[in-house]
Amino acid sequence: MEKLIFSKEEMLKIEKEEFYTALNCIEKLKKMFEQGNVPTAYNEADKQFVNTILDIVLNGRMSGEDVRTKWPSDKTRARYISRHGVTNRYNLEKEFPILTIRNCKGALAKSIDEIDWIYFKQSNNVNDLGSKIWDQWADKNGYIGKAYGYQINKPIRVKTREGKFVWMDQLEQICYQLKHDKESRRIITEMYNMEEIVDMNLAPCAHGTQWLVKDGRLDLILTQRSQDMLTANGWNVMQYAAFQTYMAKAFNLIPGELIHNIGDCHIYLRHLPQIVKLFEANDCKNISAKLKYTGDINNPVKDFNKNLFILEGYEASSVKIGKIEVAE
């Protein structure tokens, strides 16, 4: 049985106070919207972030009390308000989609490191990862079960253009198709393996990609079952945009659109006071950042180097919102 940090009565009190604080924050955000006092966003990342937050606040529905997620700091229930079936689009040809409403420069390197960990190292051990983002789901040896890199690494049987069958991992097969059959609508990776979900310490959140080429432009559709807006929205968008930038260069294509499909897009009640701080600061920057991969790419599977990305033209708000707790 899990050891409680507080008594059940204390936990109920914490949850009740959090719930009423959240309701006050929701009313503040609604009032800001009605009065036209929402942040002025200039780049697409900020626009989509602000608009999605408002969509959740204005049209979302509250989770029930029987939620799986808990807060690691006090073990109380992590309730949230969410919208289902959110789609956001980002034009990488115009700008790199990185938030300026909060400073994400440090997080960019860590988010790219996670792409390296999943797709190129193909690891499911947090000791191979530079950040601590998966530590709370790891066992004593650092493994998170049969998730993420484990699924990318699993051999799959691929039919070549010559009609032969060969074994490749998921990264190898999308690289093969982008080189030999770039007009295909079947250039897909998938980490949500139903047979092995029970063997994962956490089911993958961002789990599927589809790569599509038209007119020399590489579009990427990212499918995500669940997203915590404050913790992960900026993170997932910029890391997959970086991945798309690398793959476009590898195959002499122009980075096109990143289309982000989210199943359950939510704001945790505990995060609402921090979101109010971001909105009240109203400090989005009018910039168009660019991300470049400066390395040579002869073998896309082996040449990825997380340290060879350069971010140009970035400026961000200096507003401080405190540590963002991640529900588990």
Q: Which two tokens stand for residue 289?
A: 């950042």
**Cα distance between residue 101 and residue 275, in whole Å:** 10
**Cα distance between residue 174 and residue 186, in whole Å:** 9
Which of the following is catalytic: 25, 104, 205, 265?
205
Active site residue 104: no
Give the three-state DSSP class for 68.
Answer: coil
Q: If residue 292 lies in a helix (H) or strand (E), which one and from where to where?
A: strand 290-293
**Cα distance between residue 318 and residue 105, in whole Å:** 12
Burial 140-172 (b: 16+ CB within 10 A, else e): eeebbbbbbbbbbbeeeebeeeeeeeeebbbbb
**Cα distance between residue 84 and residue 261, in whole Å:** 10
Residues designated catalytic: 205
